[in-house]
């Protein structure tokens, strides 16, 4: 029988270019989430490193290598607290050494990798206030949607800029997703106008719970991120939200409300195209 409820946590961080300090903060916040009763904890994009792109190349790991620094920390925390940890976006080695994948990795309570997803949509934009981002210059794109079972729920994986592409979430729902994860490092410029709208839209159209774990504050090279990590229900209502500082937000994801929404407004069954 499918589980009826799952307590989840979205971790909000202000990661910097210091791997050791970031991992220490991850350890602290993962412990805080577990102490609050969370069984699934989602870390934001760039949780382990948020600095010059060259650093990502040097830190890139092979997924499944429990001795590597980033995955070692995630595995240790998952085992210690008996939780599932989603490392929202970390550098994974790719065939191009100059352009690692941006990968969301799922670690089970036994410390082993359950699944991983490589970010499909890369952030290449010129913003009105003058900022320029070229994620594709330093990152290799993935290509496949991923859904992983966690606590009796189908959990769909995505990373940050993916949230602007509803077709990805349609594919996740088609594969059984009932909970969607959106670890992110949204800029302040885009976040203040689009973050809440996009997260709620993905919940409404997918009739799914959404866990959005975000970066906040100021990072190296003058980058600033919006924060406001959230858990949103299948009707599109935020049930927990952070402000603009590091911390943890916790909520209970329940199957009964998801089924109620999907039954009352069966839009997923009415799709024609």
Q: Looking at the annotation, which residues are catalytic? A: 45, 119, 160
54: enclosing H helix or E strand: helix 53-59
51: its two tokens: 């600095």
Q: Among residues 168, 98, 186, 106, which one has the least CA distance to residue 137?
A: 98
Bridge partners (DSSP) of residue 240 are: 231
Contact between 114 and 106 under an 8 Å Cβ cutoff? The reply is yes
Q: Among residues 31, 26, 27, which one has the least CA distance to residue 12?
A: 26
Whole-angstrom distance, CA of residue 86 vs CA of residue 91: 14
Residues in the chain: 273
DSSP 3-state of 241 = strand
């Amino acid at each position: 029988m499918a589980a009826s409820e799952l307590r989840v946590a979205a971790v909000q961080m202000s990661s910097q270019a210091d791997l050791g300090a970031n991992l220490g903060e991850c350890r602290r916040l993962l412990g805080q989430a577990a102490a609050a009763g969370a069984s699934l904890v989602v870390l934001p994009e760039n949780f382990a490193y948020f600095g010059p792109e060259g650093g990502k190349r040097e830190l890139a790991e092979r997924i499944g290598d429990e001795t590597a620094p980033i995955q070692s920390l995630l595995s240790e925390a998952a085992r210690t607290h008996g939780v599932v940890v989603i490392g929202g976006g970390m550098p994974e080695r790719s065939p191009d050494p100059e352009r690692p994948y941006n990968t969301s990795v799922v670690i089970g309570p036994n410390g082993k990798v359950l699944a991983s997803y490589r970010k499909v949509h890369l952030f290449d934009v010129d913003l009105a206030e003058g900022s320029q981002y070229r994620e594709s210059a330093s990152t290799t794109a993935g290509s496949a949607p991923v859904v992983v079972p966690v606590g009796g729920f189908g959990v769909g994986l995505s990373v940050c800029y993916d949230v602007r592409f509803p077709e990805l979430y349609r594919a996740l729902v088609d594969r059984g997703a009932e909970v969607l994860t959106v670890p992110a490092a949204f800029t302040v410029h885009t976040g203040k106008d689009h973050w809440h709208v996009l997260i709620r839209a993905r919940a409404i159209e997918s009739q799914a719970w959404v866990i959005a774990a975000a970066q906040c504050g100021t990072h190296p090279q003058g980058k600033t991120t919006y924060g406001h990590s959230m858990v949103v229900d299948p009707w599109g209502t935020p049930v927990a939200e952070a402000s603009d500082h590091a911390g943890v937000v916790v909520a209970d994801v329940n199957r009964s409300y998801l089924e109620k929404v999907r039954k009352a407004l069966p839009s997923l069954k009415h799709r024609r195209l």
